[in-house]
Structure 1
């Protein structure tokens, strides 16, 4: 039986993940970590991971970026693989994640959807072919409760494009103070927040007299929860420290 601890268990995504795990054979959530310690499942909830005295095989983190470093301290002490689904980390927090990955297996992805991760491959191929003849713009839309902007997914998509472009791209998030024509070597990233939008990401390659658009729309949070649980199952079998992502999960299915 795969034993999972869930950080952020009482949040929106935490509740969806709880439902997904309860419907799968061979796995269970043995503990939850959350500042809200209300018990909404068949497992105990702790405000601090260090209060948990039981055993687990892997931790899924869908909490808040401010909680990541403390959770990593717990994972390092107990040598537990962790799946970090939380976004909006600062440079210092990202450095802590990289440091932890030298000691334990760490999974991190800006988006847990398999569709989004396949989209990154399409973007790399498109950018390599289209090169500097097309302007790149990214538009992301999320619900009005999302804290970080732009989304971690938008930055992940921008990185995929930038990796394949023949120039060093500048990420531009705000043009309202600019009174100039659009420079050629930039990637524009725009964020929209409203209503109950789960998640929508569009990448536009804008050329002379044509636009190529690659788009992904999430219709429910379940697509992210399924990806997180799949990643947890994969990470539970990882013994080597390092940074892992959804491409590793996808590759493992072909073996």
Structure 2
């Protein structure tokens, strides 16, 4: 049974992860980290990761970019595999993750859903075929409490599509501020925030007289929790390196 540390324990996703783990027999949460250490949990929750002196196999991080340096420092000091599900990380923080992956296994994905990562591959295949004659737009919708926009998943989809295009596109986030026709070499990225929408992502390939839409809809945060837990179990037996959902998908399929 794998022992999991859960960063962001008292957050919305942290609570979902803890509940999902409690229903499994292959892993257990031994402690949590959270800026708000007060908790009614049956496991200890620490405001400072360095306060944890027990043993664990892997760390799952669903915290916040402002808390992330503490997570990074702990994983580095303890040489502990870490699954990073926190969104909105800066470019510097991404570079620090790459550096950490040289000494410990690091799993990083903007979206922990298996379904989202499968549609990413579909979008890349579609873009490779359609890019010459279709315009590409990404639309994402989330609840009214989400802070970052566009979502990390929207950027992940756009980056994946861009990687297969013959010419590097630029991203258009704020179309209303520019009074001009749409440029051919761009990907529009649009954010909607409202209500309790868990997560909706749609990629539109708009051509002459036809539109192709590839869409993913999340009805529960549980899918992200399950993905993160599976990633943690996968990562706990890997060598140092930087892993993502494509590695997990391959492991499941293999």
Alignment TM class, shorter chain as reference: over 0.9
Per-residue deviation at 1:32? 0.3
- Aligned residue in 2 for 1:131: 131
Scaled by the length of structure 1, what TM-score is found?
Answer: 0.98
* 1:242 equivalenced with 2:238 (yes/no): no
Contact 1:4 1:60 in 2 (8 A): yes
Q: Work out whether residues 10 and 40 of structure 1, in 8 Å CA contact, stay in contact via their aligned partners in 2.
A: no
Distance 2:91 2:26 in 1: 37
- Matched with 1:212 is 212
**Aligned-pair Cα RMSD in Å:** 0.9
Q: Quote the residue 1:62 is aligned against.
A: 62
Report how many residues are paired: 254
- Segments of 5+ residues of structure 2 without an aligned counterpart are none
Distance 1:20 1:226 in 2: 7
Cα displacement string for residues 161-217 of structure 1 (whole angstroms, at most 9, x for unaligned residues): 111112111011101220110000000000000000000000000001110000000
Deviation at 1:132, TM superposition (A): 2.1
Question: Which residue does 2:9 correspond to in 1?
Answer: 9
1:174 matched to 2:188? The reply is no
Task: Indicate if the aligned counterparts of 1:199 and 1:219 stay in contact, CA closer than 8 A.
Answer: yes
- Aligned mates of 1:174, 1:155 — CA distance in 2: 15
**Residues of 2 paired with 1:168 and 1:124: CA distance?**
14
Q: Unpaired segments of 5 or more residues in structure 1?
A: none
**What is the aligned partner in structure 2 of residue 44 from structure 1?**
44
Q: How far, CA to CA, are the matches of 1:197 and 1:254 in structure 2?
A: 31
Residue 254 of structure 1 corresponds to which residue in structure 2? 253
Q: Contact 2:116–2:216 at 8 Å: present in 1 too?
A: yes
Could you tell me the TM-score, scaled by structure 2's length? 0.98
Which stretch of the first structure deviates more once superposed, 4-13 or 37-46? Answer: 37-46
Q: Which residue of 2 aligns with 1:163?
A: 163
Stretches (4+) displaced over 6 A? none
> Distance in 2 between the 1:74 and 1:146 partners?
26
Tell me the distance in 1 between the aligned counterparts of 2:172 and 2:123: 18
Alpha-carbon distance in 2 for matches of 1:160, 1:81: 25
Tell me if 1:109 matches 2:120. no
Q: Which residue of 1 aligns with 2:153?
A: 153
CA distance in 2, matches of 1:145, 1:70: 24
In structure 2, the residue matched to 1:18 is 18
